[in-house]
Structure 1
Amino acid sequence: MNEIIIQNLLSPVVLFFALGILAAMVKSDLKFPTALSETLSIYLLMAIGIKGGIELSHYSLSTVAKPILGTLFLGTSIPIIALFILRFLKMDLRNAIGLAATYGSVSIVTYGAAISFLGESGTKYEGFMNVLVVLLESPAIFVSLLLMKLFEKKEGHSLVFSQNIGLAAGNSSVISGLIDKEVMKESLFGKSVLLLLGSLVIGWIVGEDAVPAVKPLFMDLYQSVLIVFLLNMGVIAGQRLPEVKKHGWKILLFGIFMPVLCGTLGVFVGDYVGLSLGGTALMGVLAGSASYIAAPAALRTSVPEANPSIYLGLSLGVTFPFNLIFGIPLYFTIAQMIR
């Protein structure tokens, strides 16, 4: 395990991320233009999606059915686990819901770094794993909102807390209260889900015929673009760390304990549904990561009372670097041990 961690620590992906954190800590004037940061994000989403679609064209529906069910299980169970832990830690309902949605969803960049890690170690994985990334983006958001409504009813709170979320008092059903256009839009048609799913479908339709057109940009340059993107993420993560410290040591421990717990659960689920060593490790990465794109975008609309410095600061300032440095090798090692 130590060798795997050292190998990961000395990879260009992690070292440039560390350089970004250092730049933030010493208050360097290093920063990326917003437009460039957005462009890099779009590139990574498209690259992962289209490569996954091409690989998906090689598989039948019966092959991917069990992994899809395992992914949906993780997407619904992780928010429940997170909320239970956070309520035990006496966190208020709104911020607990924000963290539950964030940790139930997925970090596409952590997933990209894990693919890079597997590539360097020569470990193969199922191409349809990119489909599972898309599937894990949205369920946690809906489950978290459902849990919030159930908790509010139990505690006798008013069901009307935000016009944006579309909840109504009275005899309306629990599910109907969650059907809000803005929440649906952010969860299903936000940038990350739309680009991932759209690129994946395009790659699946075209199949191997797409390789000559996409290989020079989306395959050959992927690793280099990921390094540039993670330098930028390092700067952002370093800037978020002081915000997390304000909320005490318990929340910091949650940002480390939660990915280990859920990542381990993801590894066991991956093994149970019959994934390969690489696929099982990636399932652990998916379960152990925390979103800082799709979930926060939905939360700004549906739970405006939740503090972004908590759910964004923790996912980006603590869990993301932890997974990048220690989590990915840990999930890979656990996957090796149980196979």
Structure 2
Amino acid sequence: MFDTAIQTFSSPVVLFFVLGLLAAFARSDLSIPEPIAKAMSLYLMAAIGIKGGVAVSKSGIDLTVISALGAGIAAGFILPLFAYAVLKGFGRLDRINSGAVAAHYGSISVVTFVTAVEILTGQAREPGGYMVAVMAAMEAPAILAGLLLARGLGSAGGTQTTGEMLHEVFTNSSIVLLLGAFVIGMIAGESRFAAVSPFFETGFKGVLCLFLLDMGLIAARRMMESRSITWRLFVIAIFLPIVNGMAGTVLGVVVGLDAGSSAALGVLCASASYIAVPAAMRLALPEADPGIYLTMSLSITFPFNVLINIGLISAFSAYLTGHAGAMP
């Protein structure tokens, strides 16, 4: 576990994120223009999607892939239930805000996943390419579960019908690009991907470093500006990714995933959305407080996952799969 932590903290990807945090806390004027940040985001999602599709085209769709998808979808529905109970009980939030925050902690963070894949690959535990599809599949169930917990289908308070909300989720730019690139990769296969692979592979790590620099700046600045977070909510924002990450990793091992893919599922369960879900909540639950759900997911959970939890989940997955392999 100590070696895993050293490998995580010595990764340029993590160090650039730390640089962003430190620069923001020091009140530096360092910033990345919004159009450039948007372009980097599009590049990263397209790259991870197409490479995942190529990997699946090589391995094919088998019982492992189907099991991983089923595990991810089930986690997307179940994790918000646990988060809601903790937020309403220990966190002392009202029903609306508990449901809104719970949706974030059942959904996923694309950037956390991409960072984890990079770190796991550096540790010779590269997740299966099909985990990109699992990531995309976890988005909608968590939003639906959060809304059901907050107000139930068809009740007053939101500006969207259930159909409109589902359309918003499935046509979200992140989901469309990830799944679209994934399908392109599956159709193209390894041979045709070779023609564009230099663009998607050579610059990937460098772009990810700059993107995480920007995320560090944003996370730290939002944390300094927030006035809605109590000590109880801060504790929950650390507690949930630890418990969810361990549960997701165990689930991955149980359904037969390898160490890297089990760790990736754990990271997906540990991550919290700060892009797609906030957009959905803003429309479906306008009375929920963005100062709570955005600060918890982006400014507390996201840094914790990148700096600490990915390493913990990686070590835990290696331990579990190692012991599982030793069992008769």
TM-score by length of 2: 0.93
Q: 1:247 is aligned with what amino acid?
A: I
Q: 2:60 is aligned with what amino acid?
A: Y
Q: 1:275 to 1:244 in 2, by over 3 A?
A: farther
Structure 1 residues 209-218 or 197-206, which shifts more? 209-218
Q: Which residue of 2 aligns with 1:176?
A: none
Q: 1:180 is aligned with what amino acid?
A: G
Q: 2:156 is aligned with what amino acid?
A: V
Q: Which residue of 2 aligns with 1:123?
A: 125
Q: 1:215 is aligned with what amino acid?
A: S
CA shift digits 1:78-106 (9 cap, x unpaired): 11111111111320122111211111110
Q: Which residue of 2 aligns with 1:313?
A: 295
| Residue 102 of structure 2 corresponds to residue 100 of structure 1 | yes
Tell me the secondary structure at the aligned position of residue 138 of structure 1: helix
Measured after TM superposition, the shift of residue 213 of structure 1 is 2.6
Alignment partners' CA distance in 1, 2:11 and 2:311: 12
Measured after TM superposition, the shift of residue 160 of structure 1 is 1.6
CA shift digits 1:267-311 (9 cap, x unpaired): 011001110011111110010000111111111111111111211
Measured after TM superposition, the shift of residue 336 of structure 1 is 1.8
Alignment partners' CA distance in 2, 1:193 and 1:79: 20
Report the number of matched residues.
319
Q: 1:241 to 1:74 in 2, by over 3 A?
A: same
Q: Which runs of 5+ in 2 are unaligned?
A: 322-328
Q: Which residue of 2 aligns with 1:170?
A: none
Structure 1 residues 94-103 or 256-265, which shifts more? 94-103
Moved over 6 A (4+): none
Contact kept, 8 Å, 1:243 with 1:313, in 2: the verdict is no
Tell me the secondary structure at the aligned position of residue 292 of structure 1: coil
Q: 1:143 is aligned with what amino acid?
A: A
Alignment partners' CA distance in 2, 1:63 and 1:260: 25
Measured after TM superposition, the shift of residue 246 of structure 1 is 4.1
Alignment partners' CA distance in 1, 2:96 and 2:160: 13
Contact kept, 8 Å, 2:100 with 2:281, in 1: the verdict is yes
Alignment partners' CA distance in 2, 1:234 and 1:252: 18
Q: Which residue of 1 aligns with 2:277?
A: 295
Alignment partners' CA distance in 1, 2:227 and 2:119: 30
Q: 1:40 is aligned with what amino acid?
A: M
Measured after TM superposition, the shift of residue 16 of structure 1 is 0.8
Contact kept, 8 Å, 1:252 with 1:314, in 2: the verdict is yes
Percent identity, aligned pairs only, is: 39
Contact kept, 8 Å, 1:245 with 1:252, in 2: the verdict is no
Contact kept, 8 Å, 2:23 with 2:217, in 1: the verdict is yes
Alignment partners' CA distance in 1, 2:53 and 2:73: 19
CA shift digits 1:149-188 (9 cap, x unpaired): 34x9xxxxx93223x133xxxxxxxxxxxx231x123211
Residue among 282, 285, 289 paired with 2:264? 282
Q: Which residue of 2 aligns with 1:22?
A: 22
CA shift digits 1:9-55 (9 cap, x unpaired): 12111111111111111111111111111111111111111011111
Q: How does 1:220-259 map onto structure 2 within 5 Å?
A: 220-244=202-226, 246-259=228-241
Alignment partners' CA distance in 2, 1:43 and 1:226: 9
Q: Which residue of 1 aligns with 2:38?
A: 38
Q: 1:329 to 1:221 in 2, by over 3 A?
A: same
Alignment partners' CA distance in 1, 2:19 and 2:116: 19
Alignment partners' CA distance in 1, 2:208 and 2:261: 20
Alignment partners' CA distance in 2, 1:296 and 1:194: 17
Q: Which residue of 1 aligns with 2:325?
A: none
Alignment partners' CA distance in 2, 1:272 and 1:246: 39
Q: 1:21 is aligned with what amino acid?
A: L
Q: 1:230 is aligned with what amino acid?
A: L
Contact kept, 8 Å, 1:52 with 1:203, in 2: the verdict is yes
Contact kept, 8 Å, 1:94 with 1:305, in 2: the verdict is yes
Contact kept, 8 Å, 2:238 with 2:301, in 1: the verdict is yes
Measured after TM superposition, the shift of residue 143 of structure 1 is 1.3
Q: Which residue of 2 aligns with 1:161?
A: 157
CA shift digits 1:71-129 (9 cap, x unpaired): 11111001111111111132012211121111111011111111111121122322211
Alignment partners' CA distance in 2, 1:267 and 1:322: 17
Tell me the secondary structure at the aligned position of residue 185 of structure 1: helix
Contact kept, 8 Å, 1:244 with 1:252, in 2: the verdict is no
Tell me the secondary structure at the aligned position of residue 258 of structure 1: helix
Alignment partners' CA distance in 1, 2:83 and 2:283: 21
Contact kept, 8 Å, 1:118 with 1:124, in 2: the verdict is yes
Q: Which runs of 5+ in 1 are unaligned?
A: 153-157, 167-178
TM-score by length of 1: 0.90
Alignment partners' CA distance in 1, 2:110 and 2:155: 33
